[in-house]
Amino acid sequence: MRIAICTAASAVLLISTAADSHAADWPQWRGANRDGIWTETGIIKRFDAPEIEAKWRVPIGAGYTGPTVADGRVYVHDRVTDPEQVERVHCFKWQTGEKIWTHAYPCQYEGFGYRAGPRASVLVEDDRAYSFGATGHLHCFNAANGIVHWERDLLAQYKIRMPNWGMAAAPIVEGDLIIVQIAGEGEACICAFDKTTGDERWKALSDCASYSAPIVVEQAGKRVLVCRTGDRVVGLNPTTGHLHWEHPMPWKSWPIAIATPVLHQDLLVLSESHHGTTVLRLSDKSLSFDKVWSLRRSDLEDGKALHCLNSTPYVHDNHIYGADSRGILRCLRLDTGAQVWEDDSVVPEGRFATVHLIPGGDRTWLFNERGELIIARLTPKGYDEISRAKLIEPTLEQFRQRGGVTWSHPAFAYRHVFARNDKELVCADLSAK
């Protein structure tokens, strides 16, 4: 089953994923539709205490990987260093946290910083689960029992030109392929493998790697893989890797793009710490685009531009909402990029301060790096906080400042929230009683 969201009035642009999932599942990075939207109903309107009671909690190791939830199971990827450096993929029962299976493999972290653990969320499609480690280990498992169908050490096989913070861009399944960004030697920045056998199907581009997860859109009647590499944003044929279009976004000092591209109607929104925010209009007549606007701090007298880092923005009612690289929440006009408002109350301002925004109905759920879950309304009139409560404690492995952080994106499924730090995975009930 292919899940798609209809966008433009002419219905020619679609963002989708090939993940075959139940409506309540959160089977991959940013959910079933890879858009970060929580679609379930019957959810609480506000918290009844300053702390959210956990339904269950289980110990895990360190890592940045957000949990995923599919077919009644929860998946998370972590790392331990004693007695040896090992990455592990875990699977738990969603109702109780009881462990179903774990797969561990030796993995030396060398040549990159922020070594808490793997970054990319486990992807579940049908009866298979795919994990992608920080050094480039790509695994395909039986999702129910953890049996390894195939595995590839992409660092060794493709001589990855490792970015500063390791491999982080979550893979995507499209048709019979699983596609990853690795920046292999030569023309192997983006590589596609047969999702059943692991055999290479194509490789493309000589770009440096970024940390930004790809999406697939439908443009001018064609499926198009949109990837933000370290050097540009590109539209590729997902079947062959052929380059349809590109917009240069050369890196400064080092590639830093983390936020996922966002499609709203025919507009592609890109935001990152160096370039600020850029909006491209994708043509519905041909595989081409026009730049609508691009703004960074240096372009504006007041410096009020949106530079997302760990957080992906979202678009609603012709406005962009996002948290910049210091945690300040900003609202911009979609047509011009002009700032409408800003708010610094969601998380204490600081370098790399992180807030994840998850729209759902007429509200937005915000998970900040202090481990707080917030219910709010974000409109062009401003930020209206309804309720806030502590979900999980920040820990130090991910970032040894500010008493620790919780940078991993939570999962929302079965009217519950699933979140992790460097010590535990927690599940809490958010259903309306």
For 25-64, the pLDDT digits (tens) are 999 999 999 999 999 999 999 999 999 999 999 999 999 9
Q: What pLDDT score was predicted for residue 72?
A: 98
Closest C-alpha among 185, 268, 267 to residue 232: 268
d(CA 239, CA 230): 22
d(CA 427, CA 429): 7
Average pLDDT over residues 403-429: 98
CATH-assigned architecture of domain 3-429: 7 Propeller (2.130)
Closest C-alpha among 343, 371, 341 to residue 356: 371
Closest C-alpha among 224, 215, 227 to residue 288: 224
- Could you tell me the pLDDT band of residue 252, with boundaries at 50, 70 and 90? confident
Using the predicted structure, report yes or no on whether residue 155 has a pLDDT greater than 90: yes
Q: What pLDDT score was predicted for residue 30?
A: 98
**pTM for this entry:** 0.94
Do 108 and 123 form a contact (C-beta atoms < 8 A)? no
Q: Annotate 411-428 with b (16+ C-beta within 10 A) or e (fewer).
A: bbbbbbbbbbbbbbbbbb
| Pair type for strands 56-59 and 68-70 | unpaired
- Could you tell me the pLDDT band of residue 253, with boundaries at 50, 70 and 90? confident
Residue 103, SS3? strand
Please work out, in degrees rounded to the nearest 5, the angle formed at the alpha carbon of residue 404 by the alpha carbons of 400 and 408: 105
Q: What is the pLDDT of residues 159-192, one digit of tens each?
A: 999 999 999 999 999 999 999 999 999 999 999 9
Using the predicted structure, report yes or no on whether residue 12 has a pLDDT greater than 60: no
Average pLDDT over residues 260-271: 98
Average pLDDT over residues 112-131: 97
Do 372 and 390 form a contact (C-beta atoms < 8 A)? yes
- Could you tell me the pLDDT band of residue 2, with boundaries at 50, 70 and 90? very low
